[in-house]
Structures are given as C-alpha cells and as structure tokens.
Structure 1
Amino acid sequence: MNLSEPLKQRIEALVRSDRVVLFMKGSRRFPQCGFSGAVVQILDEVIETYTTVNVLEDPEIREGVKAYASWPTIPQVYIDGEFVGGADIVREMRESGELAQKLGGAKGGEPKALTLTLSEAAKRAVVEAAKDADPGELLRFEVSPRFEYGLFFGPRAPGDVEVDAGGITVLVDAASARRADGVRVDFVEGPEGAGFKIDNPNEPPRVRQLSVRKLKEMLDAGESFELVDVRTERERAIAWIEQAKLLDQAELERLSALPRDTAIVFHCHHGGRSRSAAEAFVGRGFSRVYNLEGGIDAWAVVIDPSVARY
C-alpha cells in the first residue's frame, strides 16, 4: 500500500499521542483477537495507562499502519514514537526484562487495594472445595482481557495481590487486578446444576440472546429498537420479518451514527451470522445489542407460520 501524505500525518499524530500507543483489534477492555489481548495483558503488567487505537473501526488506518511500520500484522506497539514490534516481540521483551527497562521499570508502589466479595453461599462452596486442595494452596481468581474467568486453588506467585474476601484469602495476579476490582462471586443452584456466578462491574457489554417470543412482545408493545436483517437480498426475497431492515451499506452507515445506547436486534437465518454482526457492533461501542435466537427460521416455527422456511 502506498502511504499518502495525509494518511501518514494521521498515523504519526496517533503514534505521538501518548508515550505508549497500541494499534490493536478491539479495545483495552475488549480485545477482539488473541494476539491483541496478549499484548494488552503484558502492557497491563508494566504500566497503568497507555493509548489504544482500534483498527477495526478504520480500515484506512488498519492498512496504513502496516505500511508505516513496514510490519504486516496487527497488533503494533509504539513507545516514545518508535515502533517496537508485535505480539511475539513484546512477549520476548517482557520475558527478558527489556520492556520494563524501556518503560522505566514495572509499576511501582504497593499493589492496588482491591475489593472482591464472596457471598455466604460462595464462601461455603470454597471452604468445601478447599478440602481437596494441596497444602499451601489458596483460592486464586483470574480475569483475562476477554473477561474469561478462572477460580481455582493454587500457590502464590510473584506480583500477586492478596484480597481478604470476608475471611477467605483470594490471590489475584497482577495482570487481572484492574479487571477484578469490585467483583462479586456467588454460588447458585440452577436447572443445569450448581456453580459460581460472577458479577463484574468492569466487564464490557456483551451480545445478549433474544428469544423470538420476547421479540414479538417488544414489537407488540411498540418498544423503541432497531431490527436488522443481515442476510442476503436473495434470502430476504424468500422470507422476511416485516419490521426488519436489510443491512446494506446505507443501513450500516445509518446504524453507525446512532447513539451507542440504542437497542439493536440482529437476525439472520438461524442465528450464526447475526451473532457475528452483533459482536462487531459491541466492538464499536454499542451497549444494548441482541442476537435473535434461531433467526427467522425460529420466528417462522414459533411466531408466524406464514413466513416461508428454506
């Protein structure tokens, strides 16, 4: 790709907007690829603040930054305006200590005081599970950059933050600390069995599943939301939900300009393609995004048998 002067200036402005700048897929709170998430986790261990640029929101920047650095992949890390490398190089720099040295040392001072709450039911479950733990092992809690959770018994590790959760000691690794603050852990019984339930105020919005019955209720009640069909024009000619709008380029631009708290329901044939579209809109910052379970096929079976099945 030939880098035009205006695009080069845009990239340079981004590169110099902060001491550490990460061009990535997704955001610091919600990485949208494993390599971007790995770099976020490494940087979180070393520094408190840095700037991220979501290349998924700007195809021109996504391709342009590759030409700018002569580096074919994303993510890319810049420190003091200098290109450092991608995920593998940053990982190697972390392991050798070079990254901490380049950034002036790891985060100093006392570990951040965290709040982590266990319900009484969770405490009882932990005490019972501790009977099978090895001597010296304590309860550990981890939160990945994608907000995947780990709750298990294990030994202490360097950099752990120790939390007193109502008389039970919980160890949180340094990389998880920011994402774990304020978490509440419960233990609940359900139709599929018992298990821990985690409520994390730091977790970004996720795609919510919506049943066809609930969609019918929303339509009948005249609720305000966008209903979007992500199928092809050929499929839509076979079967359609009257209120849905086809996601063409014009509709994409219209939706992208809406307030980020707009409720949007996506549907396709069976629910797969629409979930991908919904996740993309969550990545754009929309907070009330739904995927229609079973798609228009479920709508035809459960709600409106006049809709053709194919």
Structure 2
Amino acid sequence: MSLTEALRDRIQGLIKADAVVLFMKGTRLRPACGFSAGVVEVLDSLVPQWTGVDVLADAELREAIKEFSAWPTIPQLYVRGEFVGGADIVREMHMSGELSTLLGASEVRPPQVHVSPRAAAVFREVTAEAGPGEAIRVRISPRFEHDLAVEGREAGDLEVVAEGITLLFDRMSAARAEGLRLDFVERDGEAGFAIDNPNAPAQVRSIGASELQGKLAQGAVQLFDVRTPQEQAIAAIAGARLVDEAVRAEILALDRGTPLAFHCHHGVRSQAAAEFFVSQGFREVYNLRGGIDAWSREVDSAVPRY
C-alpha cells in the first residue's frame, strides 16, 4: 500500500504521544500474540508508563507502520521518537542491559505517598508483632493491581515513611506509586483499604442506561453507535452517531480528554470499540452496559427491541 501523507502524519502523532510507544497486536492488558506479549513483559519490568497502539484494530495502520519504519513485522518499539526494533532486538537489548539504559530505567526515586491517619492506625496494629526488619510492603503490578503485606526488606527496596509508617517498594512498584493514597474505610458493615493511584491507566467504564441518559442530557458525553447501518435502521438512540471510517477519523482527531460513550446491541462490540479508543489515549470512555437493548428496557420503550 502507499503511505499517504495523512497516514504518515497520524503515525508521527502517535509516536510523539509518549516517550515509549509500542505498535503491537492487542493491548497492554491483553496482548494478542506471543511476540507482543514478550515485549509488553519487558517494558512493564523496566518502565511504569508507556503507550501501546493496537494495530489489529486498524488494518490500514497495521500495513502503514511497516512501510513507515521499513520493518516488516509487529511489534515495533519507538523510544523518544526513534525506532528501536522488533521483538528479537528488544529481547537482545534487554538481556545486554542496553534497553534499560535507553529507557532510563535506573532512575527510580522513592515516591511521594499519602497515608491517612486511619490507615496508619491499622498498619500499626498489623505490624505490632512483626519480626525484625519487617514492614508494610506495597506491590503494584504492571496492570496496576495493588497488594499490601507485612514482609522483610529485600535488596534494592526503596523505603518511604508516611504518617510514621514505613512502606517498602521494589523498584518498579515505586515507579508506579508516585502520588499513591492509602486509606482505610468502613462502609455497609465492611472495612478495608482504599487505594487511589493516579498513575493507573484509563480503563473503559461501564455505564447504565439511566446514567448515560443523564450525561447526554447535560451534554457531558458524545455517544457513538458501532452497529451496522441495517441495525441502526431498526432501532437507534437519538443523537448517537454511527461509526464509519469518517467518524472514526473525527474521533481520533479529538482532544484525548473528550468524554466518549459507545453502544451496540448488547454491549460486546462496543466494549471492544471503547477499549480501542482507550488504547489511543482517551481518558474517559464509557460502554453502555446491556447496549441499546438495555436502553429500550430502562429508558425509552419506544426504541424497538430486536
């Protein structure tokens, strides 16, 4: 295929969107091939923040990036705007330590962490009988799953003291923890730690029909329909735009802070569409739970069910 100027500009925009950009099959949370999964694992072990671009969701982009880089396979890694290579090169650079240097992975500092007085009190209780050298360990996985445990210190740990509590982080957990807030809450007869991590990547938010109706009434979100034109002719939500190539390009040109909502028949296709736009950097993306069928049942019975 011919690499048009529009495609070239789009690719350059994607590459400039973050210091580390991986054109891959699937997403960071759900790699769709072994080679992409291998590079994801390497990047997740070295840097807390990077951007993945799912080429499976865009056949045009999948072919264009190969011509752009003069590299025939996917995945492809770019660092600070420069092409690094594919899966084999990434693996070799990782083993030699060159990739860690390129990514600046060694520059990890103890994070700023806020511990609420209530959480600190509970931490003191659970560490009252801790052994020598043990403290609260905070683990943050590449998927930003959080785990708290009482454990001993390990080589390379970074220590943070907040509200009089010593917290232990391994290097990559520390890199994912800047601004972390730990609280302890009691609600509806249950109690537990509440963790707020501002570094966690955006995820698709499930939204009910009534809540979506309210947001639409306030003009707080744009709604898009990912069904076929034939389905839209049967039943439609007022104001929803059918996603074709032109509309898709319009969405991609929007500011990444623009709230987006997607729907289909029952919510499966629109979930995939919503995940694609999250992968493109949009931070507030909703999927209508139950699709237009739920809208008909819960909001507007005049919309036909099929």
The answer as to whether partners of 1:37 and 1:145 remain within 8 angstroms in 2 is no
In 1, Cα distance between the equivalents of 2:121 and 2:298?
A: 42
What SS is found at the alignment partner of 1:164? strand
Which residue identity is paired with 1:253?
A: A
- The sequence identity of aligned pairs, in percent, is 38
Instruction: Using the TM superposition, give the Cα deviation of residue 136 of structure 1 relative to its aligned residue in structure 2, in angstroms.
Output: 4.4
Closer, same or farther in 2 for the Cα pair 1:115/1:285, shift >3 Å? same
Contiguous gaps of at least 5 residues in structure 1 = none
Closer, same or farther in 2 for the Cα pair 1:196/1:55, shift >3 Å? same
Give the aligned partner of residue 119 of structure 1: 116
1:241 correspondence with 2:241 = no
Give the aligned partner of residue 43 of structure 1: 46
What SS is found at the alignment partner of 2:199? coil
Closer, same or farther in 2 for the Cα pair 1:190/1:271, shift >3 Å? farther
Q: Report the RMSD for the aligned CA atoms in angstroms.
A: 4.2
What SS is found at the alignment partner of 1:188? strand
The answer as to whether partners of 1:230 and 1:273 remain within 8 angstroms in 2 is yes
Give the aligned partner of residue 301 of structure 2: 305
1:218 correspondence with 2:221 = no
After superposition, residues 191-210 of structure 1 pair within 5 angstroms as 191=188, 193-210=190-207
1:165 to 162, 165, 175: 162
Closer, same or farther in 2 for the Cα pair 1:130/1:61, shift >3 Å? farther
**TM-score using structure 1 length:** 0.74
Aligned length: 290
Closer, same or farther in 2 for the Cα pair 1:294/1:104, shift >3 Å? closer
Give the aligned partner of residue 59 of structure 1: 62
Give the aligned partner of residue 154 of structure 1: 151
1:263 correspondence with 2:265 = no
Instruction: Using the TM superposition, give the Cα deviation of residue 291 of structure 1 relative to its aligned residue in structure 2, in angstroms.
Output: 1.5
In 2, Cα distance between the equivalents of 1:302 and 1:285?
A: 31
Closer, same or farther in 2 for the Cα pair 1:246/1:169, shift >3 Å? same
The answer as to whether partners of 2:262 and 2:273 remain within 8 angstroms in 1 is yes
Contiguous gaps of at least 5 residues in structure 2 = 32-36
Closer, same or farther in 2 for the Cα pair 1:207/1:84, shift >3 Å? closer
Which residue identity is paired with 1:290?
A: Y
